[in-house]
Chains A and B, each alone.
Chain A
């Protein structure tokens, strides 16, 4: 399996020649300052934006050669802060994740119901499956939206800032979940703002000015000179055991 690979992506917007490979079974965190092209790259890799130059390959085949439902079965995308149907039941929201398998006229079968149960279970959202989405807290809602993304049983999961607006406890839940999902064999690519969350990923890629300027294990990438260049001179990095820990000392 070749993974999900961006090759020489130029445009749209900020991207100026990006190569990036997401392998199955790994969590790759995408870091970078505002405007560096993180979200654009994620959308290009999800097949939602077409690059001006370069190509995205999904398991060694060009992404644009896939049919839309076929692509939807392999890749799940969770936007940051997208709209959500407040008046739908949690279970109904999660079932929408089965659309790539059902198409417009397909009928739901046992496999679909199993996948929905699994997605609710793995995200810890089973307890509120009968509630309306609009009645949940931000953290609960994010877990449901993640369950929706997982219900299609994708091989790759692309998430745009999945921990934004969540309190520390819920950030921990989501981050722990991403690690577990990668452990189950999914390729997980997440745009993150917090370098300390990125430190928990298997690999980190840093975007600056539309290019990948660093890529590798968190301990190799999250170094003070690079982070100070990206975020300002007040950034400090200490080691907590093996793991880098980033804080601000303005």
Chain B
């Protein structure tokens, strides 16, 4: 059903999807998941922004694959960032948010540049 939203809201509605309820449900679920992750780990930027975009380029747009892959990929990216944060400036430890920003910032700029190029 998430894939159907890729055809545009009008087409999704013409296929019978209860669009408004669906949007509310997805927004609510995303908010709750984000809130619980932040409550556990604190604010670590760019993980949620970079991972799905990166994986979409690798795996395509099928949300049945992309959603679980993003969850796994986000965890893996964070584990890698944590490893780098603990080892790069040994014996000191960098805040993990600095590493994710270093990884995610350039990628985000690349995405923005690509989008502008397409427009």
In the complex formed, the residue of A with least CB distance to B6 is A85
Interface size of B by CB at 8 A reads 18
A211 CB → nearest B CB, Å: 24
B3 in the interface, Cβ–Cβ < 8 Å?
Answer: yes
* A82-B62 contact, Cβ under 8 Å, with A96-B15, A100-B15, A100-B16: no
Contact of B16 among A71, A84, A132 (CB under 8 A): A71
Could you mark each residue 81-92 of chain A with 1 if its beta carbon is under 8 Å from any beta carbon of chain B, else 0?
A: 011111111001
* A85-B7 contact, Cβ under 8 Å, with A92-B62, A104-B1, A132-B60: yes
B8 CB → nearest A CB, Å: 4
A115 in the interface, Cβ–Cβ < 8 Å?
Answer: no
Query: What is the bound-complex CA distance between A85 and B60, given in angstroms?
Result: 9
CB-CB under 8 A from B54, the residues of chain A are none
Contact yes or no, A68 B61, CB < 8 A: no
Contact yes or no, B15 A72, CB < 8 A: yes
A210 in the interface, Cβ–Cβ < 8 Å?
Answer: no
CB-CB under 8 A from B13, the residues of chain A are 48, 68
In the complex formed, the residue of B with least CB distance to A158 is B14
| Interface residue ranges, A against B (CB under 8 Å) | 43, 46-48, 67-73, 75-79, 82-89, 92-93, 96-97, 99-100, 103-104, 132, 148, 152
| Interface residue ranges, B against A (CB under 8 Å) | 1, 3-4, 6-8, 10-11, 13-18, 56, 60-62
Task: Rank and list the top 7 A-B pairs by shortest CB-CB distance, nearest first.
Answer: A85-B6, A87-B61, A72-B16, A69-B16, A77-B14, A82-B8, A87-B60
